[in-house]
Amino acid sequence: MKIKKAIIPAAGLGTRVLPASKAIPKEMLPIVDKPAIQYIVEEAVKAGITDILIITNRGKGAIEDHFDHSIELEGMLKTKAKKKQFEEITSVTQLANIYFIRQKETRGLGDAVLRAKEFVGDEPFAVLYGDDVIIGEIPAIGELCEAYEKYGKNVVGIKEVTDEQVVKYCSLKVEKKEENVFDVSDMIEKPSIYNKFSNYSILGRCVLDSRIFEILENTPLGVGNELQLTDAMKTVARKEGMTGVVFSGERHDMGNKFGMLKANIDVGLTHPETKNELKAYIKKLAEEI
């Protein structure tokens, strides 16, 4: 079954990137000239997703405005014959069918996903975390959707991370199946270095079927007194196994300050309007530091 629906949880408070995220949702922070969430929507669209539900919160209205028409701006660009900018800003409104729902209390990623129950109905669906931007030739979520179609199990996007990172994310019990594909039979959210299964962690993407909602409804609050999506996926992994796909793109964590900087440098080095100047600037800096 082709996956057509995706959800993007973007209702978190973003405390790790304060004060930048005080009045601007962290998902709207730019990577060179586009907000992070636009890269995520574009990735989903490239993978064949047609319907996207963005889960927001109070103070996240800028996300809705970004994917809507800006009548004044469009009128001004039209009369001033700024064709390129006009096309750029109107194309954002036509990327996909984009819907919004609010998570009224910040009760964790699992609770945010639960808000999508009605939207998803009975279909398998993709989840793209709103602060994880993955840049690559092939859309990461497309690689996961293919694995879902091939193996018929729920899928998580994974990478091997450092010891320092694994304790902040989650740790997976994995067995290699084929190149870049693993069977996942267990997982633990924010492990200690002593009880981790491996250094493979879920990084911002998964494909789930609608049974996850009932599991979430019966999952107790976990780490941080929040409803953790990982705890619900653990139930699935233990019961029937999941597929782990090492996606090919580079993941940028826009939820922390270094991740934001790195994303801007990486994209800036390939962007036609910035790459030459940035390259020269980095070379000059490298000589000085």
Q: Give the residues lining the site for ligand UTP (CB under 6 A).
A: 9-16, 55, 103, 106-109, 111-112, 129-131, 255
- At 44 the three-state DSSP class reads helix
Question: For ligand UTP, which is the closer residue by CB, 185 or 201?
Answer: 201
Min separation Cβ 20 and ligand UTP, Å: 11
Min separation Cβ 111 and ligand UTP, Å: 6
Min separation Cβ 57 and ligand UTP, Å: 7
Tokens of 153: 């199990």
Q: Specify whether the CB–CB gap between 174 and 244 falls below 8 A.
A: yes
Question: For ligand UTP, which is the closer residue by CB, 113 or 181?
Answer: 113
Question: For ligand UTP, which is the closer residue by CB, 14 or 191?
Answer: 14
Q: Specify whether the CB–CB gap between 180 and 245 falls below 8 A.
A: yes
**Which residues, 6+ apart, have CB-to-CB distance to 225 below 8 Å?**
none
Min separation Cβ 171 and ligand UTP, Å: 16
Residue number with the smallest Cβ distance to ligand UTP: 12
Nearest to 89 by CA among 103, 106, 71: 71
Phi, psi of 220 (to 5 degrees): -70, 160
Angle between helical axes of 36-46 and 140-151 (0-180°, round to 10) = 40
Min separation Cβ 43 and ligand UTP, Å: 14
Question: For ligand UTP, which is the closer residue by CB, 29 or 278?
Answer: 29
Helices within the chain (DSSP H only): 36-46, 61-66, 71-79, 83-91, 109-114, 117-120, 140-151, 163-166, 211-217, 229-240, 257-268, 275-288
Min separation Cβ 25 and ligand UTP, Å: 8
Question: For ligand UTP, which is the closer residue by CB, 77 or 111?
Answer: 111
Question: For ligand UTP, which is the closer residue by CB, 131 or 143?
Answer: 131
The conformation of residue 220, written as its DSSP 8-state character, comes to: P
The conformation of residue 124, written as its DSSP 8-state character, comes to: -
